[in-house]
Amino acid sequence: MRHFFRSAEIQLQRLVKRDGTTREEASSRLTSQLPITAKLRYADHVVENSGTLMELETETQLLINKLNRQSGGLSWLVCWLILPVGILFGMKSLAWKWFKRDRRRASKKRDEF
């Protein structure tokens, strides 16, 4: 999962501008949602979105380049064209995500004690 985030104040300003609502209405909508800090725990990649459009484009391009390097070049094509290979890579990816999630949970439980 990828997540684009911005500070709470910038998020509030952009929501008011985009929807034409009052600060109170926008704030109420934002407080009814899961906080950004909680969402970040679920993200595989995070792009900071508090700057200019040019900065966002740069951050996004850096993420795209990173994902391309991680994909191993043409390995995505092999996985897509040869079904069993794609299934194995998908299972490996899911197992890794579950492993990371379980480690985070275990670490959180240790921190609570």
Q: What is the CATH number of the domain that holds 25?
A: 3.40.50.300
Q: DSSP assignment of the chain, as one string?
A: -EEEE--HHHHHHHHHHHHT--HHHHHHHHHTSPPHHHHHTT-SEEEE-SS-HHHHHHHHHHHHHHHHHHTTTTHHHHHHHSHHHHHHHHHHHHHHHHHHHHHHHHHHHHHH-
Residues 66, 81, single domain; the answer is: no
Residues 83, 44, single domain; the answer is: no
- For the whole prediction, is pTM greater than 0.85? no
Q: How far apart are the first and last CA of the chain?
A: 30
Q: What is the pLDDT of residue 73?
A: 66
pLDDT greater than 80 at residue 112: no
The pLDDT confidence band at residue 20, using thresholds 50, 70 and 90, is very high
Residues 27, 82, single domain; the answer is: no
Calculate mean pLDDT across residues 85-91.
Answer: 84
